[in-house]
């Protein structure tokens, strides 16, 4: 599921700090900080979508991510490949390596990563 930018930003901060009260999330935002009511609304939406859970501590809620960042990122990449590259990972890889200014060293690092993945599949 693609999150709107504002909701994705809340998740990025929550993934970064793992557990947070409202004040902790607000502290992550640069100035000018959004209103706490705005963050509260975003948290409620994310909770309804199953992205955030919480534990009540006294009168406060401690929020935590229910969706891992790696899972969300993986889904987003798969959707990108599906939508822009006709579900072709080779078209994606070709575009990715041709349109970026990778050094030879960086390309070799990518090759090493691919080689390791291939070995682990055997």
Q: What is the pLDDT of residues 9-34, one digit of tens each?
A: 999 999 999 999 999 999 999 999 99
Q: Which residue has the higher pLDDT, 42 or 83?
A: 42
pLDDT of residue 93: 86
105 — pLDDT class (breaks 50, 70, 90) = very high
Per-residue tokens: 90: 């080779």
DSSP run (H or E) holding 25:
helix 22-28
CA 76/CA 74 separation, integer angstroms: 5
CA 12/CA 20 separation, integer angstroms: 12
pLDDT of residue 6: 96
pTM of structure: 0.78
CA 70/CA 115 separation, integer angstroms: 21
User: CATH number for the 5-65 domain, one of 3.40.640.10, 1.10.10.10, 1.10.3720.10, 3.40.50.300?
Assistant: 1.10.10.10
């Amino acid at each position: 599921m693609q999150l709107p930018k504002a909701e994705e930003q809340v998740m990025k901060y929550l993934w970064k700090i793992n557990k947070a009260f409202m004040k902790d999330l607000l502290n992550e935002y640069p100035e000018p900080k959004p209103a706490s009511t705005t963050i509260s609304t975003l948290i409620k939406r994310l909770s309804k979508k199953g992205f955030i859970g919480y534990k009540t501590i006294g009168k406060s809620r401690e929020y935590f991510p229910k969706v891992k960042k790696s899972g969300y990122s993986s889904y987003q990449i798969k959707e990108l490949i599906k939508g822009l590259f006709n579900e072709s990972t080779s078209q994606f890889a070709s575009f990715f390596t041709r349109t970026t200014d990778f050094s030879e060293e960086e390309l070799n690092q990518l090759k090493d990563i691919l080689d390791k993945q291939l070995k682990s599949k055997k």
